[in-house]
Structure 1
Amino acid sequence: MTKNSESTEVAVVAISREDDRFDRTSIILHWLTAFLILAQFVSIWSLEAAGDESSLGLAFLSIHRATGVSTLVAVVARLFWRHYFAYLPPFPPRMPKLQQTIAKANEYGLYILLLAMPITGLARVVLRGQSFDLFVWQVPALMEPNPAMRSLFVEAHEIGAKALMILIGLHAGAALFHRLVLRDGVLQRMLPRMLARAKLTPALAGDDAE
């Protein structure tokens, strides 16, 4: 009887954790954004290694611009979906209020930077007063060169990149902490369903063993 009760409890927990997930569109937009951010960092690091004036460097620069604009579109779409349609699962009941506040602050900070970074990046390009490549188009010069204003956006873009790396590190570290230490299913809520199921089983098995 005890074993049956324990099995039933484990099944109930599995169902509740399975259902307590972000909606599919939110998950897709989350991982699309993550992929685009990774592509931006890899492209800019590759650009620095290849050199600004080389043909390979120019190709990396084109990729960086395209993924930056794509990130802006993805984040705007994500915020729109989040505001009007998304299902946002609540924090785990045992999660301290301070930890919830820090998680929200980190999330809002990421959104702000993910909007600001493409804008500052485009501004530093436009303020050069020269034509530039964007996706498959050649964009003509949109304004006269403004070196003083451009230098402000260059600095803002570089500071924003460092801040973004810090917040991403905190975000990823917190997700791993929930997965490996707390084992409360927070990470699984944003994973694709097949991965979430695969990662949920051992966690439940470990809880049952205790």
Structure 2
Amino acid sequence: MVKAVFFDLFETLITERENGRTIEFGTPDSVSPGPSLGISEELFEREWVARRPGRLNGYFEDYFMVLKDICHTLNIDVDDATLHSLNEKRVSTKLLLFRQIEPNILKLFEELKRRGIKIGLISNCSSEEIHGLFDSALVSFIDELVLSCQVKCSKPHKEIYMLACDKLKVEPSETIFIGDGGANELVGATNAGIKAYRATWFMNRGTKADEFQQIAEPMHVLELI
């Protein structure tokens, strides 16, 4: 019997990529801050990717500190005002993601709560990405937020899934995980003993044939419990 459903956040409950456009500021497929720092987009990308573990696991307090570290490493002199401006731009851009949640996702959450099913969120994220989460329509439905930047552990490591189960007081076998599959999260959930399904309703990374059943619409999750 399924007692809890765990969800990924990005590209599962919210999307950064709509109509071929991304608002994931600070990555290669959006407006790169490289030129503002006096470096190429390619060099910024390399430094950005190198800091991914630190960003997700809370080593860096915010985007400002990531940029500060990049500047220090590359021995480039950029004033703090510029870095704070870039930080504020990233925060405000990420806030937009939480303004309008897909109605069918909220409808799914309402039905899960009506059935007495617990809802957990397991997300790889840095602190500045999730300011909008706490005021969003999602948060009142979620029983436990397991955010990598807060718990200092990220998907696909088994520990973050086990921590989520502990917080909801359920066994892995009593839960399912729904995510788009980024960060190898479906394999990670499986390794933790959780049945995993691939959410394809945003269709941003496409679908691929593998062992994970694909879920095309949020309300189809109800067929799994």
TM-score, normalised to structure 1, is: 0.32
Larger-Rg structure: 1
Q: Which is strand-richer, 1 or 2?
A: 2
Higher fraction of helix = 1
TM-score (norm 2): 0.30
